[in-house]
Structure 1
Amino acid sequence: MDYLVLFFIGITATTIGTLAGGGGLISLPAMLLLGVPIHSAIGANKVSNTVSSFSSFFVLLKHKRISLRESLWIIPVSLFGGVSGGFLATRLTDQQLSIFAIGLLVFAFVTSFIGKGDFSGDKKLTVNRISVPGLYSIGIYDGLFGPGQGTLMLYLFGYLEVAYIRAVGYVRLATFSSCFGAAITYIAAGKIIWPLTIMLLLGSVTGAQLGVRLAEKLKPAYVKPILRIVTVALIVQIVLDSF
Protein backbone atom coordinates (compact mmCIF):
# COMPACT_ATOMS: atom_id res chain seq x y z
CA MET A 1 0.00 0.00 0.00
CA ASP A 2 2.83 2.42 0.86
CA TYR A 3 4.30 1.93 -2.62
CA LEU A 4 1.02 2.93 -4.28
CA VAL A 5 0.68 5.92 -1.94
CA LEU A 6 4.21 7.05 -2.83
CA PHE A 7 3.39 6.80 -6.54
CA PHE A 8 0.42 9.15 -6.14
CA ILE A 9 2.44 11.45 -3.86
CA GLY A 10 4.99 11.71 -6.68
CA ILE A 11 2.29 12.56 -9.23
CA THR A 12 0.64 15.22 -7.06
CA ALA A 13 3.84 16.88 -5.79
CA THR A 14 5.56 17.04 -9.17
CA THR A 15 2.47 18.26 -11.05
CA ILE A 16 2.15 21.18 -8.63
CA GLY A 17 5.92 21.65 -8.52
CA THR A 18 6.10 21.90 -12.30
CA LEU A 19 3.31 24.49 -12.46
CA ALA A 20 4.34 26.72 -9.54
CA GLY A 21 7.17 25.15 -7.56
CA GLY A 22 6.79 23.98 -3.97
CA GLY A 23 6.36 20.28 -4.74
CA GLY A 24 8.51 19.43 -1.73
CA LEU A 25 5.75 20.98 0.38
CA ILE A 26 3.77 17.80 -0.35
CA SER A 27 6.27 15.00 -0.92
CA LEU A 28 8.67 15.44 2.00
CA PRO A 29 6.09 15.74 4.83
CA ALA A 30 4.06 12.89 3.30
CA MET A 31 7.09 10.58 3.23
CA LEU A 32 7.93 11.45 6.84
CA LEU A 33 4.34 10.62 7.86
CA LEU A 34 4.78 7.22 6.20
CA GLY A 35 7.78 6.63 8.46
CA VAL A 36 10.56 7.11 5.91
CA PRO A 37 13.78 8.28 7.64
CA ILE A 38 14.50 11.97 6.99
CA HIS A 39 17.74 11.46 5.05
CA SER A 40 16.18 8.71 2.94
CA ALA A 41 13.14 10.92 2.26
CA ILE A 42 15.32 13.85 1.15
CA GLY A 43 17.47 11.51 -0.96
CA ALA A 44 14.38 10.02 -2.62
CA ASN A 45 13.17 13.52 -3.43
CA LYS A 46 16.53 14.48 -4.94
CA VAL A 47 16.73 11.34 -7.10
CA SER A 48 13.12 11.63 -8.32
CA ASN A 49 13.46 15.38 -8.96
CA THR A 50 16.64 14.82 -10.98
CA VAL A 51 14.88 12.43 -13.37
CA SER A 52 11.45 14.08 -13.48
CA SER A 53 12.78 17.63 -13.96
CA PHE A 54 14.98 16.53 -16.87
CA SER A 55 12.06 14.62 -18.44
CA SER A 56 9.81 17.71 -18.44
CA PHE A 57 12.66 19.92 -19.71
CA PHE A 58 13.32 17.43 -22.52
CA VAL A 59 9.65 17.40 -23.57
CA LEU A 60 9.57 21.20 -23.87
CA LEU A 61 12.90 21.15 -25.72
CA LYS A 62 11.61 18.46 -28.11
CA HIS A 63 8.48 20.51 -28.79
CA LYS A 64 10.71 23.55 -29.45
CA ARG A 65 9.03 25.57 -26.70
CA ILE A 66 12.47 26.42 -25.27
CA SER A 67 15.96 26.93 -26.68
CA LEU A 68 18.95 24.88 -25.52
CA ARG A 69 21.32 27.62 -26.65
CA GLU A 70 19.41 30.19 -24.60
CA SER A 71 19.36 28.06 -21.44
CA LEU A 72 22.64 26.11 -21.16
CA TRP A 73 24.30 28.79 -19.05
CA ILE A 74 21.72 28.09 -16.32
CA ILE A 75 23.49 24.80 -15.47
CA PRO A 76 26.86 26.14 -14.20
CA VAL A 77 25.24 29.12 -12.44
CA SER A 78 22.74 26.89 -10.57
CA LEU A 79 25.39 24.29 -9.78
CA PHE A 80 27.79 26.90 -8.39
CA GLY A 81 24.98 28.50 -6.39
CA GLY A 82 23.98 25.13 -4.94
CA VAL A 83 27.55 24.33 -3.94
CA SER A 84 27.90 27.77 -2.34
CA GLY A 85 24.65 27.28 -0.44
CA GLY A 86 25.72 23.85 0.78
CA PHE A 87 28.97 25.34 2.08
CA LEU A 88 27.10 28.13 3.91
CA ALA A 89 24.56 25.69 5.35
CA THR A 90 27.26 24.00 7.42
CA ARG A 91 27.87 27.33 9.19
CA LEU A 92 24.28 28.26 10.02
CA THR A 93 21.88 26.84 12.60
CA ASP A 94 18.50 25.36 11.65
CA GLN A 95 16.75 28.40 13.14
CA GLN A 96 18.89 30.82 11.13
CA LEU A 97 18.11 28.86 7.95
CA SER A 98 14.39 28.98 8.70
CA ILE A 99 14.45 32.75 9.34
CA PHE A 100 16.38 33.27 6.09
CA ALA A 101 13.87 31.16 4.13
CA ILE A 102 10.83 32.93 5.63
CA GLY A 103 12.34 36.36 4.93
CA LEU A 104 13.10 35.51 1.31
CA LEU A 105 9.66 34.03 0.63
CA VAL A 106 7.88 36.99 2.27
CA PHE A 107 9.98 39.34 0.14
CA ALA A 108 9.03 37.42 -3.03
CA PHE A 109 5.36 37.43 -2.04
CA VAL A 110 5.26 41.19 -1.41
CA THR A 111 7.18 42.11 -4.56
CA SER A 112 4.81 39.96 -6.63
CA PHE A 113 2.14 42.61 -5.96
CA ILE A 114 4.29 45.64 -6.72
CA GLY A 115 6.74 44.31 -9.30
CA LYS A 116 6.33 43.97 -13.02
CA GLY A 117 6.08 40.68 -14.82
CA ASP A 118 2.85 38.75 -15.36
CA PHE A 119 4.28 36.10 -17.75
CA SER A 120 2.59 37.76 -20.71
CA GLY A 121 5.94 38.91 -22.15
CA ASP A 122 8.06 36.93 -24.54
CA LYS A 123 11.61 38.13 -23.95
CA LYS A 124 14.61 35.85 -24.35
CA LEU A 125 16.47 34.73 -21.25
CA THR A 126 19.84 36.47 -21.49
CA VAL A 127 22.95 36.76 -19.34
CA ASN A 128 22.61 40.14 -17.62
CA ARG A 129 23.01 41.93 -14.28
CA ILE A 130 19.66 40.57 -13.00
CA SER A 131 19.42 37.04 -14.39
CA VAL A 132 22.86 35.77 -13.30
CA PRO A 133 22.86 37.15 -9.71
CA GLY A 134 19.20 36.13 -9.40
CA LEU A 135 19.76 32.53 -10.47
CA TYR A 136 22.96 32.28 -8.44
CA SER A 137 21.20 33.60 -5.32
CA ILE A 138 18.32 31.14 -5.72
CA GLY A 139 20.92 28.39 -6.23
CA ILE A 140 22.44 29.39 -2.87
CA TYR A 141 18.96 29.22 -1.32
CA ASP A 142 18.46 25.74 -2.82
CA GLY A 143 21.76 24.57 -1.35
CA LEU A 144 20.96 26.19 2.00
CA PHE A 145 17.34 25.18 2.42
CA GLY A 146 15.54 24.04 -0.73
CA PRO A 147 11.72 24.25 -0.45
CA GLY A 148 10.40 27.05 -2.67
CA GLN A 149 13.37 27.14 -5.06
CA GLY A 150 11.16 26.60 -8.12
CA THR A 151 8.63 29.18 -6.91
CA LEU A 152 11.34 31.82 -6.44
CA MET A 153 12.73 31.10 -9.92
CA LEU A 154 9.32 31.56 -11.49
CA TYR A 155 9.04 34.95 -9.76
CA LEU A 156 12.45 35.85 -11.23
CA PHE A 157 11.55 34.75 -14.77
CA GLY A 158 8.23 36.61 -14.51
CA TYR A 159 10.15 39.77 -13.59
CA LEU A 160 12.45 39.19 -16.57
CA GLU A 161 9.32 38.98 -18.78
CA VAL A 162 10.00 35.43 -19.93
CA ALA A 163 6.90 33.62 -21.23
CA TYR A 164 5.45 31.20 -18.66
CA ILE A 165 5.93 27.95 -20.58
CA ARG A 166 9.59 28.79 -21.24
CA ALA A 167 10.03 29.80 -17.61
CA VAL A 168 8.73 26.37 -16.56
CA GLY A 169 11.30 24.69 -18.82
CA TYR A 170 14.18 26.75 -17.48
CA VAL A 171 13.13 26.12 -13.86
CA ARG A 172 13.12 22.40 -14.57
CA LEU A 173 16.63 22.61 -16.05
CA ALA A 174 17.88 24.50 -13.00
CA THR A 175 16.19 21.96 -10.70
CA PHE A 176 17.89 19.12 -12.57
CA SER A 177 21.24 20.87 -12.18
CA SER A 178 20.91 21.48 -8.45
CA CYS A 179 19.41 18.07 -7.64
CA PHE A 180 21.86 15.97 -9.66
CA GLY A 181 24.85 16.57 -7.40
CA ALA A 182 22.76 16.13 -4.26
CA ALA A 183 21.31 12.85 -5.57
CA ILE A 184 24.79 11.47 -6.24
CA THR A 185 25.80 12.43 -2.69
CA TYR A 186 22.85 10.62 -1.10
CA ILE A 187 23.40 7.54 -3.28
CA ALA A 188 27.10 7.42 -2.38
CA ALA A 189 26.24 7.77 1.31
CA GLY A 190 23.92 4.75 1.11
CA LYS A 191 20.86 6.73 2.23
CA ILE A 192 18.56 5.63 -0.61
CA ILE A 193 15.80 3.09 0.04
CA TRP A 194 15.52 2.04 -3.58
CA PRO A 195 12.03 0.40 -3.76
CA LEU A 196 10.43 3.50 -2.18
CA THR A 197 12.55 5.87 -4.27
CA ILE A 198 11.68 4.11 -7.53
CA MET A 199 7.93 4.35 -6.81
CA LEU A 200 8.26 8.04 -5.98
CA LEU A 201 10.35 8.50 -9.14
CA LEU A 202 7.73 6.81 -11.35
CA GLY A 203 5.02 9.02 -9.88
CA SER A 204 7.21 12.12 -10.26
CA VAL A 205 7.92 11.43 -13.94
CA THR A 206 4.17 10.97 -14.53
CA GLY A 207 3.46 14.20 -12.65
CA ALA A 208 6.15 16.06 -14.60
CA GLN A 209 4.54 15.10 -17.91
CA LEU A 210 1.09 16.04 -16.63
CA GLY A 211 2.41 19.34 -15.26
CA VAL A 212 4.06 20.28 -18.56
CA ARG A 213 0.87 19.66 -20.50
CA LEU A 214 -1.19 21.68 -18.02
CA ALA A 215 1.40 24.48 -18.14
CA GLU A 216 1.01 24.70 -21.93
CA LYS A 217 -2.71 25.40 -21.44
CA LEU A 218 -2.49 27.65 -18.36
CA LYS A 219 -3.30 31.31 -19.03
CA PRO A 220 -0.55 33.73 -17.88
CA ALA A 221 -3.05 35.72 -15.81
CA TYR A 222 -3.57 32.69 -13.55
CA VAL A 223 0.12 32.10 -12.83
CA LYS A 224 0.78 34.76 -10.19
CA PRO A 225 -2.27 33.91 -8.05
CA ILE A 226 -1.15 30.26 -8.04
CA LEU A 227 2.41 31.29 -7.14
CA ARG A 228 1.10 33.41 -4.26
CA ILE A 229 -0.94 30.52 -2.87
CA VAL A 230 2.08 28.21 -3.02
CA THR A 231 4.29 30.88 -1.42
CA VAL A 232 1.92 31.37 1.51
CA ALA A 233 1.69 27.59 1.98
CA LEU A 234 5.50 27.35 2.03
CA ILE A 235 5.78 30.16 4.60
CA VAL A 236 3.16 28.54 6.85
CA GLN A 237 4.88 25.15 6.65
CA ILE A 238 8.32 26.56 7.49
CA VAL A 239 6.90 28.58 10.41
CA LEU A 240 5.10 25.55 11.83
CA ASP A 241 8.16 23.32 11.42
CA SER A 242 10.40 25.92 13.08
CA PHE A 243 8.25 27.05 15.99
Structure 2
Amino acid sequence: MMTIKITLLCIAAFFAAFVDSIAGGGGIISLPAFLMTGISPHMALGTNKFSSTCASFTSSMKFAQSGKVDFKILRFLAPFTLVGSIIGAHTMLNIDAKYLNTIVLILLLMVSAYSIFSKNVGMEDKFTGLKKKLVFLGILLAFSLGFYDGFFGPGTGSFLIFGLIYIFNFDFVRASGNAKVLNFTSNISSLAVFLINGQIDYRLGIPAAISMVIGSRLGAKTALLKGSKLIKPIFITISLCLAVKILYGIVK
Protein backbone atom coordinates (compact mmCIF):
# COMPACT_ATOMS: atom_id res chain seq x y z
CA MET A 1 0.00 0.00 0.00
CA MET A 2 2.81 2.40 0.91
CA THR A 3 4.56 1.63 -2.40
CA ILE A 4 1.43 2.66 -4.33
CA LYS A 5 1.12 5.89 -2.29
CA ILE A 6 4.75 6.81 -2.93
CA THR A 7 4.42 6.04 -6.65
CA LEU A 8 1.31 8.25 -7.01
CA LEU A 9 2.98 10.95 -4.91
CA CYS A 10 6.06 10.91 -7.15
CA ILE A 11 3.95 11.25 -10.29
CA ALA A 12 2.10 14.23 -8.78
CA ALA A 13 5.39 15.73 -7.55
CA PHE A 14 6.92 15.48 -11.02
CA PHE A 15 4.04 17.37 -12.66
CA ALA A 16 3.92 19.91 -9.82
CA ALA A 17 7.61 20.73 -10.24
CA PHE A 18 7.31 20.81 -14.03
CA VAL A 19 4.55 23.43 -13.84
CA ASP A 20 6.15 25.33 -10.96
CA SER A 21 9.46 25.75 -12.77
CA ILE A 22 7.61 27.35 -15.69
CA ALA A 23 5.06 29.63 -14.02
CA GLY A 24 4.93 28.93 -10.26
CA GLY A 25 1.96 27.50 -8.39
CA GLY A 26 3.06 23.87 -8.27
CA GLY A 27 1.94 23.66 -4.65
CA ILE A 28 -1.70 23.31 -5.73
CA ILE A 29 -0.69 19.89 -7.09
CA SER A 30 1.99 18.72 -4.65
CA LEU A 31 0.48 19.70 -1.29
CA PRO A 32 -2.83 17.83 -1.81
CA ALA A 33 -0.76 14.84 -2.99
CA PHE A 34 1.17 14.83 0.29
CA LEU A 35 -2.05 15.17 2.30
CA MET A 36 -3.54 12.18 0.46
CA THR A 37 -0.77 9.96 1.87
CA GLY A 38 -2.40 10.34 5.30
CA ILE A 39 0.25 12.40 7.12
CA SER A 40 -0.73 15.39 9.26
CA PRO A 41 -1.20 18.83 7.66
CA HIS A 42 1.91 20.25 9.36
CA MET A 43 3.97 17.24 8.29
CA ALA A 44 2.58 17.59 4.74
CA LEU A 45 3.53 21.28 4.65
CA GLY A 46 7.04 20.58 5.93
CA THR A 47 7.66 17.62 3.62
CA ASN A 48 6.30 19.54 0.64
CA LYS A 49 8.56 22.48 1.50
CA PHE A 50 11.57 20.15 1.68
CA SER A 51 10.88 18.57 -1.72
CA SER A 52 9.86 21.81 -3.46
CA THR A 53 12.95 23.64 -2.17
CA CYS A 54 15.14 20.97 -3.79
CA ALA A 55 13.18 21.48 -7.02
CA SER A 56 13.35 25.27 -6.95
CA PHE A 57 17.12 25.09 -6.49
CA THR A 58 17.37 22.84 -9.57
CA SER A 59 15.25 25.08 -11.80
CA SER A 60 17.09 28.17 -10.51
CA MET A 61 20.40 26.61 -11.59
CA LYS A 62 18.99 25.70 -15.01
CA PHE A 63 17.76 29.25 -15.63
CA ALA A 64 21.06 30.66 -14.34
CA GLN A 65 23.11 28.44 -16.67
CA SER A 66 21.04 29.77 -19.57
CA GLY A 67 21.72 33.39 -18.67
CA LYS A 68 18.14 34.15 -17.59
CA VAL A 69 19.02 35.14 -14.00
CA ASP A 70 20.23 38.68 -13.27
CA PHE A 71 22.61 38.36 -10.33
CA LYS A 72 23.44 42.08 -10.49
CA ILE A 73 19.81 42.73 -9.57
CA LEU A 74 19.35 39.78 -7.23
CA ARG A 75 22.29 40.81 -5.05
CA PHE A 76 20.08 43.74 -3.97
CA LEU A 77 16.77 41.85 -3.86
CA ALA A 78 17.60 38.40 -2.43
CA PRO A 79 18.73 39.57 1.06
CA PHE A 80 15.45 41.45 1.51
CA THR A 81 13.50 38.40 0.39
CA LEU A 82 15.27 36.34 3.05
CA VAL A 83 14.71 38.93 5.80
CA GLY A 84 11.06 39.34 4.78
CA SER A 85 10.44 35.59 4.87
CA ILE A 86 11.98 35.26 8.34
CA ILE A 87 9.79 38.07 9.69
CA GLY A 88 6.77 36.59 7.92
CA ALA A 89 7.37 33.13 9.40
CA HIS A 90 7.59 34.56 12.91
CA THR A 91 4.52 36.76 12.36
CA MET A 92 2.57 33.69 11.22
CA LEU A 93 2.85 32.27 14.74
CA ASN A 94 0.88 35.19 16.17
CA ILE A 95 -1.67 36.18 13.49
CA ASP A 96 -4.34 34.11 11.76
CA ALA A 97 -3.54 33.95 8.03
CA LYS A 98 -7.16 33.30 7.02
CA TYR A 99 -7.85 37.04 6.75
CA LEU A 100 -5.47 37.21 3.79
CA ASN A 101 -7.60 34.86 1.68
CA THR A 102 -9.90 37.52 0.26
CA ILE A 103 -7.07 39.96 -0.47
CA VAL A 104 -4.99 37.29 -2.23
CA LEU A 105 -8.01 36.14 -4.23
CA ILE A 106 -8.63 39.67 -5.52
CA LEU A 107 -4.94 40.19 -6.36
CA LEU A 108 -4.71 36.90 -8.26
CA LEU A 109 -7.79 37.76 -10.30
CA MET A 110 -6.38 41.21 -11.07
CA VAL A 111 -3.01 39.77 -12.14
CA SER A 112 -4.74 37.19 -14.34
CA ALA A 113 -7.08 39.73 -15.93
CA TYR A 114 -4.24 42.16 -16.63
CA SER A 115 -2.16 39.39 -18.23
CA ILE A 116 -5.10 38.22 -20.37
CA PHE A 117 -6.14 41.62 -21.70
CA SER A 118 -2.65 43.11 -22.05
CA LYS A 119 -1.52 41.04 -25.03
CA ASN A 120 2.06 42.33 -25.06
CA VAL A 121 2.81 42.12 -21.33
CA GLY A 122 5.79 39.86 -20.72
CA MET A 123 6.13 38.86 -24.36
CA GLU A 124 9.26 40.93 -25.05
CA ASP A 125 12.27 41.67 -22.89
CA LYS A 126 12.45 45.47 -22.63
CA PHE A 127 14.84 45.74 -19.68
CA THR A 128 16.99 48.84 -20.15
CA GLY A 129 19.38 48.52 -17.21
CA LEU A 130 19.59 49.15 -13.47
CA LYS A 131 18.20 52.42 -12.15
CA LYS A 132 17.89 53.48 -8.53
CA LYS A 133 14.10 53.73 -8.74
CA LEU A 134 13.81 50.23 -10.20
CA VAL A 135 16.15 48.79 -7.57
CA PHE A 136 14.11 50.45 -4.81
CA LEU A 137 10.83 49.08 -6.21
CA GLY A 138 12.46 45.67 -6.64
CA ILE A 139 13.57 45.67 -3.00
CA LEU A 140 10.02 46.53 -1.90
CA LEU A 141 8.69 43.67 -4.03
CA ALA A 142 11.31 41.22 -2.73
CA PHE A 143 10.75 42.11 0.93
CA SER A 144 6.94 42.14 0.66
CA LEU A 145 6.69 38.81 -1.16
CA GLY A 146 9.37 37.29 1.06
CA PHE A 147 7.23 38.27 4.06
CA TYR A 148 4.11 36.97 2.34
CA ASP A 149 5.75 33.65 1.47
CA GLY A 150 6.93 33.14 5.04
CA PHE A 151 3.55 34.17 6.43
CA PHE A 152 1.06 32.62 4.02
CA GLY A 153 2.49 31.56 0.65
CA PRO A 154 -0.10 30.73 -2.07
CA GLY A 155 0.60 32.61 -5.30
CA THR A 156 4.08 33.84 -4.34
CA GLY A 157 5.62 32.60 -7.60
CA SER A 158 2.88 34.21 -9.71
CA PHE A 159 3.18 37.54 -7.89
CA LEU A 160 6.98 37.51 -8.23
CA ILE A 161 6.84 36.87 -11.97
CA PHE A 162 4.22 39.58 -12.51
CA GLY A 163 6.07 42.05 -10.27
CA LEU A 164 9.38 41.53 -12.05
CA ILE A 165 7.72 41.99 -15.44
CA TYR A 166 5.95 45.15 -14.27
CA ILE A 167 9.02 46.76 -12.61
CA PHE A 168 11.92 45.68 -14.84
CA ASN A 169 10.07 45.08 -18.13
CA PHE A 170 11.33 41.50 -18.31
CA ASP A 171 9.72 38.95 -20.55
CA PHE A 172 8.13 35.87 -18.93
CA VAL A 173 11.26 33.72 -19.36
CA ARG A 174 13.62 36.15 -17.65
CA ALA A 175 11.03 36.97 -14.98
CA SER A 176 10.52 33.24 -14.27
CA GLY A 177 14.27 32.68 -13.89
CA ASN A 178 14.69 35.51 -11.40
CA ALA A 179 11.48 34.61 -9.59
CA LYS A 180 12.71 31.04 -9.03
CA VAL A 181 15.88 32.28 -7.33
CA LEU A 182 13.92 34.68 -5.10
CA ASN A 183 11.35 31.98 -4.32
CA PHE A 184 14.15 29.56 -3.40
CA THR A 185 15.61 32.21 -1.10
CA SER A 186 12.30 32.77 0.71
CA ASN A 187 11.79 29.01 1.04
CA ILE A 188 15.01 28.57 3.02
CA SER A 189 13.77 30.21 6.23
CA SER A 190 10.44 28.37 6.36
CA LEU A 191 12.21 25.09 5.55
CA ALA A 192 14.53 25.73 8.51
CA VAL A 193 11.50 26.14 10.79
CA PHE A 194 10.06 22.79 9.65
CA LEU A 195 13.47 21.11 10.04
CA ILE A 196 13.94 22.38 13.58
CA ASN A 197 10.47 21.21 14.57
CA GLY A 198 10.87 17.78 12.97
CA GLN A 199 7.97 18.26 10.54
CA ILE A 200 9.49 16.45 7.54
CA ASP A 201 8.72 12.85 6.59
CA TYR A 202 11.84 11.79 4.70
CA ARG A 203 10.30 8.47 3.59
CA LEU A 204 7.99 10.53 1.39
CA GLY A 205 10.09 13.65 1.01
CA ILE A 206 13.20 12.11 -0.55
CA PRO A 207 11.47 10.16 -3.37
CA ALA A 208 9.20 13.16 -4.01
CA ALA A 209 12.24 15.46 -4.07
CA ILE A 210 13.95 13.27 -6.67
CA SER A 211 10.81 13.37 -8.84
CA MET A 212 10.54 17.13 -8.38
CA VAL A 213 14.17 17.70 -9.33
CA ILE A 214 13.61 15.79 -12.59
CA GLY A 215 10.32 17.63 -13.24
CA SER A 216 11.77 21.06 -12.48
CA ARG A 217 14.77 20.50 -14.72
CA LEU A 218 12.55 19.39 -17.60
CA GLY A 219 10.12 22.26 -16.97
CA ALA A 220 12.87 24.88 -16.95
CA LYS A 221 14.33 23.39 -20.13
CA THR A 222 10.88 23.51 -21.79
CA ALA A 223 10.35 27.12 -20.68
CA LEU A 224 13.71 28.19 -22.08
CA LEU A 225 13.02 26.37 -25.34
CA LYS A 226 9.41 27.52 -25.89
CA GLY A 227 9.72 30.99 -24.34
CA SER A 228 7.03 33.46 -23.30
CA LYS A 229 4.41 32.04 -25.67
CA LEU A 230 4.30 28.92 -23.48
CA ILE A 231 4.84 30.55 -20.09
CA LYS A 232 2.13 33.21 -20.35
CA PRO A 233 -0.89 30.87 -20.81
CA ILE A 234 0.42 28.52 -18.10
CA PHE A 235 0.99 31.51 -15.81
CA ILE A 236 -2.59 32.71 -16.32
CA THR A 237 -4.01 29.19 -15.86
CA ILE A 238 -2.10 28.58 -12.62
CA SER A 239 -3.07 32.01 -11.24
CA LEU A 240 -6.75 31.31 -11.94
CA CYS A 241 -6.49 27.80 -10.42
CA LEU A 242 -4.99 29.30 -7.27
CA ALA A 243 -7.82 31.84 -7.16
CA VAL A 244 -10.42 29.07 -7.47
CA LYS A 245 -8.69 27.08 -4.70
CA ILE A 246 -8.71 30.08 -2.37
CA LEU A 247 -12.31 30.91 -3.24
CA TYR A 248 -13.31 27.32 -2.44
CA GLY A 249 -11.60 27.66 0.94
CA ILE A 250 -13.51 30.88 1.68
CA VAL A 251 -16.98 29.58 0.80
CA LYS A 252 -16.44 26.10 2.23
Using structure 2 for the length normalisation, give the TM-score: 0.87
Q: Give the RMSD, CA atoms, in angstroms.
A: 2.1
Instruction: Flag structure 2 segments of 5+ consecutive residues without an equivalent.
Output: none
| Deviation (angstroms), 1:230 | 1.0
| More deviation, 162-171/119-128 | 119-128
Is 1:46 the counterpart of 2:49 in the alignment? yes
1:145 is aligned to 152
CA contact (8 A) 1:119 1:161 kept: no
From 78, 83, 86, give the equivalent of 2:81: 78
Q: Which residue of 2 aligns with 1:132?
A: 139
Q: Distance in 2 between matches of 1:124 and 1:7?
A: 42
Look up the equivalent residue of 1:85 and give its one-letter code: G
Match of 1:111 in 2: 114
Q: Which residue of 2 aligns with 1:120?
A: 124
1:62 aligns with 2:70: no
Give the Å deviation of 1:124: 6.1
Q: Map 1:193-208; keep pairs closer than 5 Å.
A: 193-208=201-216
Kindly state the Cα deviation for residue 177 of structure 1 after the two structures are TM-superposed.
0.8
Q: Which amino acid aligns with 1:207?
A: G
Tell me how far apart the structure 2 counterparts of residues 124 and 61 of structure 1 sit (CA, whole Å): 20
The size of the alignment, in residue pairs, is 243
* Mapped partners of 1:64, 1:94: distance in 2: 37
Asked if residue 28 in structure 1 is aligned to residue 36 in structure 2, the reply is no
Do residues 155 (structure 1) and 149 (structure 2) align? no
5+ long unaligned stretches in structure 1: none
What's the TM-score, normalizing by structure 1? 0.90
Deviation (angstroms), 1:31 = 1.5
> In the alignment, is the contact (CA less than 8 A) between 1:22 and 1:147 conserved in 2?
yes
Cα shift readout 1:6-27 (whole Å, capped 9, x = no counterpart): 2112110011011111100111
The letter for the 2-side match of 1:204 is M
CA, structure 1 residues 61+211, in 2 after alignment: closer, same or farther (shift >3 Å)? same
The farther-off stretch of 3-12 and 70-79 is: 70-79
Q: Which residue of 2 aligns with 1:212?
A: 220
SS in 1 for 2:135: coil
Q: Which residue of 2 aligns with 1:164?
A: 172
| 1:188 and 2:192 aligned | no
For the 8 Å contact 2:172–2:232, the answer to whether it is kept is no
| Equivalent position SS for 1:118 | coil
- Residues 16 and 124 of structure 1: is their aligned pair in 2 closer, same or farther, counting only changes over 3 Å? farther
Cα 1:59–1:124 change in 2 (3 A) is farther
Q: Distance in 2 between matches of 1:10 and 1:125?
A: 37
Report the AA paired with residue 119 of structure 1.
Answer: M
The CA deviation string for residues 199-229 of structure 1, in whole angstroms up to 9 with x for no partner, is 1111110111011111112232343332221
